[in-house]
């Protein structure tokens, strides 16, 4: 997991990150790639990515990274993002109210106000960072069912809650900062 | 002003002889805030084809008892309600959530007012005083609810559930239960009892301030929990210095001064109000969530009513 940054002077559309894994003798072990979940990245703006490979870590001596981007398009990014609640993992009470979700997962409850054009759908991407500003987790969520008809200009909408049941990850997120992106189409 | 004289008069008519009752079972609500909610609902309802003013007002009102009054409609929610349920260390003075902090009651409450408007959610641009003053807060909440209502689809109950999503205390049907209690859809009426002891400002004092570096005056507000109107049992309780182990309950602030200037929210705790041996101020960029983004200083330059710090 990591962050890319748009260091061009223009908004870019879809971004592909490629990692070529190499052995000690420089030979290519595997080529892995991923599409960055945030489109329409503005100049200077970072965006998260997560990339998987099947090669055992101990066989990898070096990684060659490359990034390709398509031109910016009409992806809407003009939203005010609201975090309604960030409920820590493992706590049985939140804001003085006993929790009903008895497994006490980590929950991030969010919404938007659409200050751009009408949109049919939207995606919210969250990256959590540790104290060294390293990405430790990424999640994506979509609009709640009640907003499946889209969101008009100046409308508000909620996203489906991000719920992390895993104890190790939930505990990690409790102590992490987060960055949020919203992409509408 | 967005509203016409005609609309305000129409609304007064509704309040006087229409839907409001004083039955013993009626939910109690402050008179000043009730006017503000109706005013805001009346404005927004003009643009919504499938909500009446009273129905929208009921959606707005239903939030306040779970958020600010412990869920009981037999008490009047306090406009000055200061949240005690968030122990984030950045909200404690000098970001020091420990027993060694000598200034625990210079605490930055994140959720404030009848709707517990929070700097992580919508209306981050509002200062503490704006969130208390229901004449400011109610239109903001009404606008947000209207924007969400118009975007949502489903049954009315499902749509209410969505528009209440920003309010955690509405979970598990708490706001729906109250909505059903206070609103009768058969005759579009409300069952609310006015509490004339509660005003829009909720006991907050509006005055003027200047600074040690400028004689120019501006409007500032004194927020003193001891002067709060309405039911305070849900937020004024011991331990007043909070619980440093997990931060909950958080401290209850001593009285402080609030204003917004140049896109910064200011809160100042002055020695004469707190009894502390220093003045304290904290500043939030109104674009930011208070948690982790406050700047704390062990001094103040604020001069309420011309009285500057020593």
Q: Which residues of A touch B159 (CB under 8 A)?
A: 146
Is residue A123 within 8 Å of A84, Cβ to Cβ?
A: no
Question: What does the pLDDT read at residue B108?
Answer: 98
Question: What does the pLDDT read at residue B24?
Answer: 52
Are B83 and A158 in contact (CB < 8 Å)? no
Q: Would an 8 Å CB–CB cutoff place B151 in contact with chain A?
A: yes
**Of A108, A81, A76, A80, the residue nearest A183 (C-alpha):** A76
**Of A167, A156, A81, A80, the residue nearest A126 (C-alpha):** A81
Question: What does the pLDDT read at residue B23?
Answer: 56
> How does residue A175 score in pLDDT terms, banded at 50, 70 and 90?
confident
- How far apart are the C-alpha atoms of B107 and B178, rounded to whole Å? 31
**pLDDT beyond 50 at B194:** yes
Interhelix angle for B134-151 vs B53-62, to 10°? 110
**pLDDT beyond 70 at B230:** yes
Q: Which residues of B touch A113 (CB under 8 A)?
A: 122, 144, 147
A30: helix, strand or coil? strand
**Of A65, A67, A37, the residue nearest A49 (C-alpha):** A37
When pLDDT is averaged across residues B196-221 and rounded to a whole number, the result is 97
Q: Would an 8 Å CB–CB cutoff place B242 in contact with chain A?
A: no
Question: At a CB cut-off of 8 Å and minimum separation 6, what does B180 contact?
Answer: none
- How far apart are the C-alpha atoms of A177 and B44, rounded to whole Å? 36
Q: Would an 8 Å CB–CB cutoff place A134 in contact with chain B?
A: no
Q: What is the pLDDT of residues B259-274, one digit of tens each?
A: 999 999 999 999 999 9
User: In chain A, positions 29-58, which contact chain B (CB-CB < 8 Å)?
Assistant: none
Nearest CA in chain B to A120: B151
**Of A177, A73, A69, the residue nearest A129 (C-alpha):** A177
Q: Return mean pLDDT, chain A.
A: 94
**pLDDT beyond 70 at B12:** no
Q: Which residues of A touch B292 (CB under 8 A)?
A: 177
Cα–Cα distances in angstroms (integers) from residue B69 to residues A89, B55, B74, B76, in the given order: 26, 21, 9, 7
Are A82 and B84 in contact (CB < 8 Å)? no
> How does residue B11 score in pLDDT terms, banded at 50, 70 and 90?
very low
Chain position carrying tokens 């009102």? B61
Question: What does the pLDDT read at residue B7?
Answer: 38
**Of A91, A98, A87, the residue nearest B70 (C-alpha):** A98
- The distance of B153 to chain A (nearest Cα, Å) reads 5
Q: Return mean pLDDT, chain B.
A: 92
Residue in B122, B154, B172 closest to A146 by CB: B154
> How does residue B181 score in pLDDT terms, banded at 50, 70 and 90?
very high
Question: What does the pLDDT read at residue A7?
Answer: 93
Q: What is the pLDDT of residues B150-171, one digit of tens each?
A: 999 999 999 999 999 999 999 9
**pLDDT beyond 60 at B3:** no
Cα–Cα distances in angstroms (integers) from residue B260 to residues A71, B264, B295, in the given order: 41, 6, 15
**pLDDT beyond 70 at B306:** yes
> How does residue B20 score in pLDDT terms, banded at 50, 70 and 90?
low
B96: helix, strand or coil? coil
Q: Would an 8 Å CB–CB cutoff place A80 in contact with chain B?
A: yes
**pLDDT beyond 70 at B18:** no
Question: What does the pLDDT read at residue B266?
Answer: 98
Nearest CA in chain A to B144: A156
User: In chain B, positions 15-74, which contact chain A (CB-CB < 8 Å)?
Assistant: none
**Of A2, A96, A105, A101, the residue nearest A46 (C-alpha):** A2
Task: Give the CA angle between residues A156, A159, A163 to the nearest 5°.
Answer: 155
Q: Tally C-beta pairs within 8 A across A and B.
A: 83
Q: What is the pLDDT of residues A24-73, one digit of tens each?
A: 999 999 999 999 999 999 999 999 999 999 999 999 999 999 999 988 76
- Best of B165, B236, B246 to substitute, by most chain A Cβ atoms within 10 angstroms, is B165
pTM of the predicted protein model: 0.91
Question: What does the pLDDT read at residue B123?
Answer: 94
> How does residue B13 score in pLDDT terms, banded at 50, 70 and 90?
very low
Cis peptide before B249 (omega within 30 of 0): yes
Question: What does the pLDDT read at residue B21?
Answer: 54
Q: Which residues of B touch A163 (CB under 8 A)?
A: none
- How far apart are the C-alpha atoms of B237 and B239, rounded to whole Å? 6
**pLDDT beyond 80 at B1:** no
Are A158 and B148 in contact (CB < 8 Å)? yes
Rg of chain A, C-alpha, whole Å: 19
Residue in A84, A86, A147 closest to B166 by CB: A84
B151: helix, strand or coil? helix
- Best of B84, B88, B90, B148 to substitute, by most chain A Cβ atoms within 10 angstroms, is B148
């Amino acid at each position: 997991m990591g962050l890319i940054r748009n260091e061009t002077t223009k908004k870019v559309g879809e971004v592909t990150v490629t990692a070529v894994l190499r052995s000690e003798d420089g030979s290519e072990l595997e080529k892995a790639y991923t599409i960055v979940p945030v489109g329409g990245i503005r100049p200077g703006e970072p965006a998260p990515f997560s990339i998987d490979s099947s090669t055992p870590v101990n066989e990898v001596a070096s990684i060659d990274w490359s990034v390709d981007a398509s031109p910016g398009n009409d992806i809407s990014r003009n939203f005010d993002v609201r975090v309604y609640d960030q409920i820590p993992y493992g706590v049985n009470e939140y804001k003085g109210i006993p929790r009903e979700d008895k497994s006490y997962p980590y929950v991030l409850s969010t919404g938007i106000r659409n200050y751009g054009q009408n949109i049919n759908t939207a995606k919210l991407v969250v990256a959590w960072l540790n104290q060294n500003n390293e990405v430790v987790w990424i999640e994506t969520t979509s609009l709640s069912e009640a907003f499946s008809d889209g969101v008009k200009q100046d409308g508000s909408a909620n996203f489906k809650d991000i719920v992390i049941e895993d104890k190790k990850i939930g505990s990690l997120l409790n102590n992490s900062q987060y960055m949020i992106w919203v992409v509408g189409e | 002003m967005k509203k016409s004289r005609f609309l305000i008069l129409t609304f007064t008519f509704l309040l006087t002889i229409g839907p409001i009752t004083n039955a013993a079972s009626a939910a109690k609500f402050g008179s000043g805030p009730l006017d503000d909610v109706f005013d805001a609902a009346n404005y927004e309802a003009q643009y919504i084809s499938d909500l009446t003013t009273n129905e929208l007002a009921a959606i707005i009102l239903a939030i306040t008892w779970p958020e600010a009054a412990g869920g009981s409609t037999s008490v009047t929610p306090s406009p000055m309600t200061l949240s005690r349920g968030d122990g984030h260390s950045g909200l404690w003075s000098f970001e020091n959530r420990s027993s060694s902090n000598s200034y625990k009651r210079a605490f930055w409450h994140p959720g404030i007012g009848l709707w517990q408007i929070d700097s992580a959610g919508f209306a981050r641009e509002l200062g503490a005083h704006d969130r208390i003053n229901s004449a400011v807060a109610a239109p903001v909440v009404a606008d947000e609810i209207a924007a969400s209502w118009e975007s949502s689809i489903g049954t009315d109950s499902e749509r209410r559930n969505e528009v209440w999503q920003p309010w955690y205390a509405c979970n598990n049907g708490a706001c729906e239960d109250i909505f059903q209690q206070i609103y009768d859809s058969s005759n579009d009426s409300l069952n609310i009892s006015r509490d004339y002891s509660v005003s829009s400002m909720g006991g907050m004092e509006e005055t003027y301030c200047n600074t040690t570096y400028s004689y120019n005056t501006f409007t500032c507000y004194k927020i003193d929990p001891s002067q709060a109107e309405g039911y305070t049992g849900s937020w004024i309780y011991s331990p007043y210095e909070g619980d440093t182990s997990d931060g909950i309950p958080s401290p209850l602030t001593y009285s402080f001064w609030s204003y917004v200037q140049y896109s910064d929210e200011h809160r100042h705790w002055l020695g004469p109000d707190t009894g502390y041996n220093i003045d304290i101020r904290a500043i939030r960029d109104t674009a930011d969530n208070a948690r982790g983004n406050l700047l704390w200083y062990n001094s103040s330059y604020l001069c309420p009513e011309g009285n500057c710090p020593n």
